[in-house]
Structures are given as C-alpha cells and as structure tokens.
Chains A and B, each alone.
Chain A
Amino acid sequence: MIYSTLNSNYSFVDKLKSVDYFLIFLVLIIGSISVFSIYSTESGDFSFYTKNHLIRLIAFFSLFLALSFVRVSTWYRHAYIFYLFGLLLLLLVIFFGISASGSKRWINLFVFNLQPSELMKIAVIVCFARYYHRIQSADIESYKYLLQPIILLLIPCYLVITQPDLGTAILIAGSGIAIIWLAGLNIKYFIYSGLLLLVSLPFIISILKPYQKSRILTFFNPERDPLGAGYQIIQSKIAIGSGGMHGKGFLQGTQSYLEFLPEKHTDFIFTLFSEEFGFIGSILLIFLYALLIYRIIKIGFSCRSFFAKLYCFGFSTALFLYVFVNIAMVVGLLPIVGAPLPIMSYGGSSMLSIMIGLSIVMSCKIYSREIISN
C-alpha cells in the first residue's frame, strides 16, 4: 500500500492557513448559544448543568482543534479499527453498562458516562467512507459489496435498538445509508428497501417495546394520553407556539421555567430556545446549522480523496439528520424517539461525537490535497 508522499510534509503555518476558521466560528457561536440555553434551563442559575456543559464544551472543543491536525490518512487507516472499537464498546455496554430510566446505554468512565452509540454514529461514517473509497462505481451493485455494508450497519443498529435506543439506531442507520446513497447505489435498491420497510411496518411495530409503541401512537394523536405519553409533545408545542414571533425573552420561558417542559436540557433544548427567542430566533439557529452543514459540504468539495469527500458529505448529511430529527420531533412532525440536538443538547457523548466528527472534517480540510490510494 502506498500512501501519498507528495504532500506529506505540510508546514505548520500551511496547516494553520488551511484551517476553516469560519467553521470554527460557527461551532463557537452554536456552542455559546447552547451555554446560554442550558443556563436558561436552570432559570438563570449558574449551577450544575451549565457548569458541566461549559466544561465539556471547552474540553471537547479543544479536542476538536487538536484532532483537526491528525492526518486524514490516519483516520483512513484506522477507520475499521475505529468501527471495531465502537462495536466493542457497544458490546461492553451489554455486560458492564449502567442503566437509567429503563435503558442500558452508558459505560462509566468515571469522568463522565460514555454513550458508545453516540461514538458509533461517527464510526459508521468513517468506516463507510473508507469502504466506498476503494470500490469502483461498477462494483457497487455486486452482491458482495452490497452485503458487506449492510452487515456492517445491521450489527451496531441491532445492538443499539436492544439497549433500547431507537432514536440513535435510526440516526446510525441513516448516516450509513446516506453514504451508500452517495457512493452511487442504484436508486431501485432504495425504493425496494423503502417499500419493504413499509410492508413490514406492522410487523416492526408489533415487536416494539410498549413505550415505543405508545410514543408512535402518541405521535399520531398526542391528546390520546395528555398526561402520559402525550405530555411531552403537547407541552413542547405549547412552549414553541406561545413563543410567537419574537419569543418571551431570555430567561422568560415560562413553560420551561415552571417545569412544564420535560427533558429541557437534552432533547427539548430547541423548545426552550424557541420559546424564549421565538420564530426569528429559531430560524436563525436553524440557519446557523444550515451554514455549518453547507460549510462541511464545501470542504468536501475541496477534498481530493474519495474518503474525505464521502466522509464530509456523509457527516454533513448525518449532522443534518440529527438536527432535522430533533427539531421535527419537538415540533411534533416526528414521534419522540430520543435524539439530541448537536452541540446544543446537554450530554457529553453527543458533544464528544460531534466534535470528533468535526475534527475529521477539519482534518479533511487541512489535508485536503492529500491523496489516499490503496
């Protein structure tokens, strides 16, 4: 195997020059907004959640900057190891995981509880980017090359679903499928599998856990059980709707301040933000995410290697999925499946995985001219 030698010797200044500062700026902006939002969930009290969030943001942001200088070829080389490491962690969860509110998702790292499924989101993208890096367009549809990624995707998804964590599993699957799509698999496969999914939907529903079933039923009719399963979505809609055009103002969100809003630090952070800053604020935040995604796509275009391209496009799509699923969920367009809003939501693992994901993007940018060959 020969790795490109043409551009193996970047000077440090060159590296610094090729850093995408706008991307860093966007991350910092969204990061700051997240700190203020978490601060608001504590009714303007700088305590536990805000402190932790700020510390993690600083730590993982630094990690993002540091990892940005890891060569993209290094990521390429260790892609499968990364994937296997993720799988190992997921298996460890089964044996040593800690449980909370009925699901077993975390490993105790003493500093914080790691959620391996979050890391798996990135690992799948890296793994798939590498996998399709070397496959020629013509070979994609051969059964061998079709079956391998499906297996690679099914294993982590299955492990995550059984935790149970439907939301993350869907996001992992979504990221993987996005790369398969980008790699150019014939549309008919997507259509067929889509139809298959639709047909098997009743069967899938029948094997879902009762709480998952009720969430889906609740999605179709939140009033079904307004104080139970429907409570979250009803209260979230009330909070967002009552925010109006300009919002109730910073620290003035009554729905969250008066504790009507559940899980306001994590999955429903957008609701709180939207209540306090209204339609204008929400659109602005979505715009920031859109800009971030656009920026990542732009970096993808500048990359020479397929690995970097596929990774950037795949990650941007995944990032979009995270944002979309979360917001669609809190505005009542999708059932509540438990998906955090990147950077904004309180939660170390999610933040860690996003920052690692971004650092690989940055590495693609810095080493954009690096050619990776088999």
Chain B
Amino acid sequence: MIKRNNNLDKNKTINRRLFILGTAKVGLLGLITSRLYNLQISEKKKYELLSDKNRFREWKTPPKRGVITDFYNNVIADNKRVYQVHLSLDETKDFNNSIFKLKNIINLSDDELSKIYEKKQKIKPWDTIVVSENLSWEKFSKLNLYLHEIEGAKPVLSTSRYYPYSNDLVHIVGYVGDASPDDIIKNEKIEKNFVPGLKVGKIGIENSTDQILIGNYGIKRYEVNSSGKKIREISYKKETQGENLRTTIDLEAQKLAQKLLENKAGSICAMDIYSGEIIAMASSPTYDPNKFTYGINKKDWNEIKNNKLRPLVNKSIAGLYSPGSTIKPLVALAALEYGIINPNLKIKCKGHDHPYELYGQKYHCWKKNGHGIMSLRNAIKQSCDIYFYEVARLLGVDRLSIIAKRYGLGSKVLENIFSEEKKGLVPSTKWKKQVLEQSWYLGETVITGIGQGYIQTTPLQLCLMTAQLANGGFKIKPNIIYNSNFNYEEILSKIESEKNKPSKANILKDKNINLYEKLYKNPRNIKIVLDAMYGSTNEQFGTSFRSRHVDKKYRYAGKTGTSQVRRITDKDRELDLDTSEIEYKNRDHALFVAFAPYDKPKYAISVLVEHGGSGSKAAAPLANKLIKKIIDRDKDREIIRKELKII
C-alpha cells in the first residue's frame, strides 16, 4: 500500500513537472515564432535588400566614344573593332599559369607582362583584366584554337579609338589613352563615367571635348555566388555612345597643308574670315596618334621625343615666332588710324651703306641696294624696313600695341580647346616696366615696326590678324568645332552693309570690341592696307609676286615675312650667304600671310616654315597651293553648310 501511494506520488510529481516543462516549451516555441515573425515579416525588406546586395554584383561597361568628323563629315576619329583577350580573375585558379600560356600563344613581351602584373595589383579579385587590347586577327584566331586550355581567358570583340588619317590630324584631334587619376579628378564627366578601360582624351580636341565625346557607361548586373563568381546575367543597361562632333576642318585642305610641310618644321593655318572656322591647321612634323591608344612603346616614344624638329609641339598655337614683316600691314594701319602718317609719306631707302640711324644705332633694310624712295603702298609691297622703322618711331610702341592686340595678337585664339596654346607677346612700355622692370628704348620701337624684338606671335594669331583685316576690319571668333548656331548669311550681310562706314565710337583707346563689330576707325585705312598687300603679291617687285595666281578666281593678296632667329652682324651682311649655306638652326624663319580671293575675300592663311629662309621663297609658294585647294573646295563647303542649316 505504501508502495502504491509512493508510486502515485511519484506519478503526480512527474506529471506536475512535465506540465511545467510543457509550459516552458510552449513559451520557447512562442519565442522562436515571434523571432521568425520579426525576421520574415517585420524586417523582410531589410533582409531582402541585404540578400540582393549579396546576390547581385554590377559590372560597368565602358561607353563608346563619339566620332569626330571634319566639316564634310569625313570621320577623322573613329571607333574601330578590335580583338582583345581578357582574363576573368574569378575564373582563374592559377593566374600565373594562365598568363604563361597566353604569353606563348599571343607572344606577350616582358614589358607587356610586367604591365599586366601591375594592373592586377590594382583591381579586385573578381574583376577582369585586359591582357591584350589589340590583337591581330591571326593571333586572335590562334587564341580561339587554344582557348579551352587557358582557364579564365575570354576572347572579346571590343571597340577602340582609331585615327584613319593618323599623322595628318594629330595636332588638331589629339589622341586618347587610359584615364589617369588626375584626369578623373579634373573632369567631372570622366569621374561620373569612369570604368576600368575607359579611354579619355589626352590632348587636342579629344581632350577638350571629353565632356561631349564620352557617353554613359552601361551596367551589367550579374547574380554572383559568395566567392564572386558570375552565375548569370540579370540585366544589362546598355552603355550609350558619346555625341559625335563636327569640326570645321577640311580634311583635304588639312592633308595638303600637312603634305606641303613634309620634311620641314612649320605650320600652316587657314581660316574663314567671317565665321572664324579653321579650315586647316597643320603643324609639322607630326606623329601617329594611334600609337598612343594602347600606350606607346619606348622606342617609338624616344623617336618622337628626340626628334630635333619637335613633333610634339603644335606649332600653329604653341610655337612662338617673331612675326617679321607680316606685321607691317598692321603697323601701317595703326599709323594711318592714329593719323600719324598719310599714305603719301615718302621715305628714301638707301641700302646697307646708309642705314637708318637712331642715337648712333644703325638699322638696316633687308635689301642690300636699298628700295629708293618709298611711299606707304610700295613700302608694304616691297617690304621696305627703313620705311617701317620711321613709321614705328612716329607711331610709338604703345599705339602699335593697342592695334596689334585688337587684331588678335597677344592673346589666345582658341582659348579652351588646346591646353598648350600660347598667348604670345605684344610689348608696350608699360609691359616692359612691369615685367622686365626696365625703361623702354626707342630702338626697340623701331625694330618692333618690322616685327622683331620682343613681339612674339603664334601662326594662328597671324592668320586671325589677316582674316580680320581681310573681312574689312571686323572682329570674329575663330573656332575649330562646328557651331550650328552661327548664321553665316546674317553675319556676312551685316559686315557687308557696315563695311564702308566709319566707326562712330572712339575706338582708338585700348578697349574690348564686341564680336562682329568694327575694329577700325576709318574704313579707308583698311582698304589702303589690303590694296598694298594686293600689290605685294600681284605686281612686279612685290615680295610674293612669284607665288601669285593669275587666275582671278584664286588671286590672293599677301605679305611675306622673314623672322630673324639671331642678330644679324655686319659680318653676316658682308658675307650675304644664301639660306642653304647657313647652319640650319641659324636660318631665318619664313612667314607668309594672305587672304583670298582678292576680289571677294573669304579665307585667310598663314604659313610658317621654321628656318626656311625668306618668306617669299619658302613660305609664299606653299600658300599658293593651299589657297587653290581651299577655293576649289569652297563650293562644296557651301553646299554642306546649306545642308547643315536644313537639319
């Protein structure tokens, strides 16, 4: 009985204890349920987001660059199909092995190999490395044959920048390369669209118009696993190509200009005198921009760098030269405008035996036997130095400086397009005091009158100066990128109707003139100068008479210039050597400026041949050929202009 009671007690105890346990169990299950509810219902969004963040990884794809064309829609910077080999690091177990195999198949050089290892350090372990950016078709097909043996290697069809007229346009178009950290910081567009493999402009138009040319990158979303391996593509937002860009360049004129400068160092610029459109802007020597797209190799780079003719310098905008006699029309104009002289002023040039003298200092004319009695027109036509020494002395450097600056000297022509563009220098007494902290000497005024001394100009400035004289003295804005807002006819008719009217404002003061406004005071003065330039090219004894066009259609007016690179001593004068007998680096720079056609001017041109000797022999003949080309193509250019207007 006791035992039975005991057993009953024990049973009760067990049941009671079980009940307590059961209650605890229910409580704990409730806890788990509420936790699950919390995770799966209340905070679902948060965990879904985290899960997606786990799952998806985005790869950016580089945008295609906009194409650059010339005015006639010829492509001058293109996107070419290229064969590449990429290596996906996440699919490559043994990187060294894969690279070694690739090396043997596509013949990677040690240089390229070390670059690849360098690149690998910079990228993430699931990224893709571009092993070779530009494979030949032979190598590409060979690679495809062995592809299964190389872990992670992928043949890729991609696009890359290609310059079909390689050397002819490099100084204008520039070239592209991989974006440097500096590029990314400086340019917001690059920063926003940066993708490994993005090519950015390094120089020239490519550089200054990155904003337009770079498109928006694409996004490929992949589902990835925990080790970053791509499982499948989820979505692909396609990259957009950058906008295309039309330049004002005439490819044919440019090619000819470049050809004319072959084996020389120099520049040729041509410009529409109303729109300021740059038709050609050649600089010699040149180099092949295509070599820079994938990083230039050492040998090619050294070849370019060590060339004494400095191919890397864009001489049209970054070369500084004394304008020489090409400035004489401007000196004459300034003197006329300020009423210092009248066109009939006569000065006698007596040759080397009786030079121009100022405070005991002698100033010679270039012509040994002298020009005889010169009037203004003849002095420009035959480029008499004695005449201009006197005119400059009478004018003074400060007034000359005002006019020279007004017609485009001493400031950048294209401003923001070429980072390397130079301002040049138009001296004045104030400038000398401020910069050199010295007083101005009258002798310096005298040589400034023939474009020597402190004065420094770029060939493009001389072209602009000539254009602004040729269009009747109106301010224009040169441009190399086609501006669809420019209304050619409107501007032309405005200038035509204003051409013969004197300026009402007192513009002889140093002040800014608005676009398409008069730069002159009296239109007669412009005419006198242009007429003298006509004489220089088209009349006997004119300095560029030998390079004239007889055909009225091509007839142009110009002014030669010969800029000394060192002081001419009496001994030199005595020797009177021919250009070919002088050491290259001591030869004069040959210059020539012109506008054409004379009867109805439309284009201005400047030619510079470094150490070419005299302007009439070395520079003017080149202008002759290019002017013919440009005028021949004028009709086509106007057709295109009309078409563009309709669009």
The answer to whether A binds B is yes
Asked whether B48 lies within 8 Å of A244 as measured between CB atoms, the reply is yes
For B571, what are the chain A residues with a Cβ–Cβ distance below 8 Å? none
Complex CA gap A257/B39 in Å reads: 20
Chain B residue with minimal CB distance to A242? B51
**A65 within 8 Å of B by Cβ?**
no
| Residues in A whose Cβ lies below 8 Å from that of B227 | 259
When the two chains form their complex, are residues B55 and A258 in contact, meaning their CB atoms are under 8 A apart? yes
Chain B residues, CB < 8 A from A310? 14
Min distance, Cβ A32 to any Cβ of chain B, angstroms: 22
Residues of chain A contacted by B10 (CB below 8 angstroms):
136-137, 184, 306
CA A300 to CA B19, docked complex, whole Å: 13
B31 at the interface (CB under 8 A from A): yes
Of the listed stretches B21-29, B124-132, B322-330, name the one at the interface; the rest are far from the partner chain.
B21-29
* A241 vs B11: C-alpha distance when bound (angstroms): 44
Chain B residue with the shortest CB-CB distance to A182: B17
Q: Are A137 and B9 in contact (CB under 8 A)?
A: yes
Query: Which of A241, A300, A306, A320 interacts with B50 by CB under 8 Å?
Result: A241
Residue of B nearest to A312 (CB): B18
Interface check A245, CB cutoff 8 A: yes
Asked if A254 CB lies within 8 Å of chain B CBs, one says yes
CB distance from A248 to the nearest CB of B (A): 9
Contacts of A138 in B (CB 8 A): 6
Name the CB-closest residue of B to A294. Answer: B22
- Measured between alpha carbons, how far is A7 from B528 in the docked complex, in Å? 142
Number of B residues near A (Cβ < 8 Å) is 39
* B223 proximal to A (CB < 8 A): yes
- Kindly state the separation between the CA atoms of A255 and B52 in the bound complex, as whole angstroms: 9
The verdict on A350 contacting chain B, using a C-beta distance below 8 Å, is no
| Closest-CB distance, A249 to chain B (whole angstroms) | 14
Q: Which residues of the partner chain B approach A274 to less than 8 Å between Cβ atoms?
A: 36, 40
In the complex, A138 Cα to B13 Cα: how many Å? 11
Q: Is the interface of A mostly helix, strand, loop or mixed?
A: helix
**Cβ contact within 8 Å between B14 and A306:** yes
Q: Is the CB of A331 within 8 A of B47?
A: no
B35 touches A331 (CB 8 A): yes
B46 within 8 A of A: yes
User: Is there an interface contact between A313 and B18, defined as CB atoms closer than 8 Å?
Assistant: yes
Contact indicator B17/A184 (Cβ below 8 Å):
yes
Q: How far is the CA of A242 from the CA of B226 in the complex (A)?
A: 16
Q: Which residues B52-79 have CB closer than 8 A to chain A?
A: 52, 54-55
Check A244 against B36 for contact (C-beta < 8 Å).
Answer: no
- In Å, the complex CA distance between A286 and B50 comes to 26
Q: Is A244 within 8 A of B44, CB to CB?
A: yes
- By a CB distance below 8 angstroms, the chain B residues around A260 are 54, 225-226
Q: B47–A242 contact, CB under 8 A?
A: yes
A306 vs B12: C-alpha distance when bound (angstroms): 11
Interface check B43, CB cutoff 8 A? yes
Give the residue name and chain of the A residue nearest to B15 (CB): A301
Binds B, one of A21-29, A118-126, A232-240: A232-240
Asked if B373 is an interface residue, CB under 8 A from chain A, the answer is no
Q: Which of A136, A258, A306 has the most CB of B within 10 A?
A: A258
In this complex, what residue of B is CB-closest to A278? B40
Contact (Cβ within 8 A) B13 A184:
yes
Q: Does B32 contact A (CB under 8 A)?
A: yes
Q: Report yes or no: A244 in contact with B50, Cβ–Cβ below 8 A.
A: no
Q: Which residues of B contact A245 (CB under 8 A)?
A: 40-41, 44
| A279, A286, A306, A332: residue with the most chain B Cβ atoms closer than 10 Å | A279
Question: Does A220 belong to the interface (CB within 8 Å)?
Answer: no
Chain A residue at minimum C-beta to C-beta distance from B32: A327
Docked-complex contact B32 and A286, CB < 8 angstroms: yes
* Chain A stretch 157-189: residues in CB contact (< 8 A) with chain B: 178, 181-184
Residues in chain A near residue B32, CB distance under 8 A: 286, 324, 327-328, 331, 333
Asked whether A353 is an interface residue with its Cβ less than 8 Å from the other chain, the reply is no
Known: A259-B226, A324-B32. A254 touches B51 (CB 8 A): yes
- B224 interfacial by beta-carbon distance below 8 Å: yes
Return the CB mask of B576-593 against A: 1 if under 8 Å, else 0: 000000000000000000
Q: Is A240 within 8 A of B21, CB to CB?
A: no
B14 neighbours in A (Cβ, 8 Å): 182-184, 306, 309-310, 313
A133 to B18, CA, bound (A): 16
Q: Is A362 an interface residue (CB 8 A)?
A: no
Asked whether A41 is an interface residue with its Cβ less than 8 Å from the other chain, the reply is: no
A205 within 8 A of B: no
- B residues near A195, Cβ cutoff 8 Å: none
Question: Is A94 among interface residues, defined by CB-CB distance under 8 A?
Answer: no
Minimal Cβ-Cβ distance residue in B for A331: B35
How many angstroms from the CA of A178 to the CA of B47 in the assembled complex?
37
Asked if A290 contacts B18 (CB within 8 A), the reply is: no
A241 and B47 alpha carbons, distance in the complex (Å): 5
Could you give, for residues 203-223 of chain B, a 1 whenever the CB lies within 8 Å of some chain A CB and a 0 otherwise? 000000000000000000001
Q: Indicate the member of A182, A257, A306 with the most B CB atoms within 10 Å.
A: A182
Contact residues in B for A258 (Cβ distance below 8 Å): 54-55, 223-226, 231
Q: Which residues of B contact A293 (CB under 8 A)?
A: 25
B51: which of A137, A255, A324, A333 is its contact (CB, 8 Å)?
Answer: A255
Candidates A241, A254, A283; contact of B55 at CB < 8 Å? A254
Please, which residues of chain B bring their CB within 8 A of the CB of A244? 40-41, 44, 48
- Which A residues touch B36, using CB under 8 A? 240, 274, 279, 282-283, 331
The answer, yes or no, to whether B137 is at the interface (CB within 8 Å) is: no
Say if the beta carbon of B33 comes within 8 Å of chain A: yes
Cross-chain contact of B43 among A137, A241, A290, A317 (Cβ < 8 A): A241
Known interface pairs A240-B39, A244-B41, A306-B10. Does A333 touch B47 (Cβ–Cβ under 8 Å)? no
Is there a chain B Cβ closer than 8 Å to A297's Cβ? yes
Residues of B within 8 A of A332 (CB): 35
The answer to whether A282 and B40 have CB atoms under 8 Å apart is yes
Tell whether, in the assembled complex, residue A254 and residue B223 are in contact, meaning their CB atoms are under 8 Å apart: yes
- A286, B47: Cβ atoms under 8 Å? no
CB of B37 within 8 Å of the partner chain: yes
- Interface flag for A243 (CB, 8 Å): yes
Asked whether A242 and B50 contact (CB < 8 A) given A237-B39, A258-B225, A279-B41, the answer is yes
Query: Looking across the interface, which residue of chain B has its beta carbon closest to that of A240?
Result: B39
List of B residues within 8 angstroms of A297 by Cβ: 18, 22
Residues in A with CB closer than 8 Å to B226 are: 258-260
CA distance in complex: A255, B526 (Å): 82
CB distance from A224 to the nearest CB of B (A): 17
Q: Which of A307-332 contact B (CB under 8 A)?
A: 309-310, 313, 317, 320, 324, 327-328, 331-332
Which A residues lie within 8 Å of B51 (CB)?
238-239, 241-242, 254-255
Complex Cα–Cα for A294 and B45 (A): 35
**Distance between B502 CB and nearest chain A CB, rounded to angstroms:** 82
Look across to chain B and name the residue whose beta carbon is closest to the beta carbon of A328. Answer: B32
Residues of A within 8 A of B55 (CB): 254, 258
CB nearest to B26 among chain A residues: A290
Per-position binary interface string of chain A over residues 182-200, scored 1 when its CB falls under 8 Å from any chain B CB and 0 otherwise: 1110000000000000000
Known contacts A137-B6, A313-B14, A328-B32; A259/B225 CB under 8 A: yes
**B50–A238 contact, CB under 8 A?**
yes
A238 to B43, CA, bound (A): 10
| Pairs of residues from A and B, 7 with the lowest C-beta to C-beta distance, nearest first | A241-B47, A242-B51, A184-B13, A258-B225, A279-B40, A241-B39, A259-B226
Contact sample, A vs B, 24 pairs, CB 8 Å cutoff: A138-B6, A178-B21, A181-B21, A182-B21, A183-B17, A237-B47, A238-B47, A241-B44, A241-B46, A242-B48, A245-B40, A245-B41, A254-B54, A254-B55, A254-B223, A255-B51, A255-B54, A257-B225, A259-B226, A260-B226, A306-B14, A313-B18, A331-B35, A331-B39
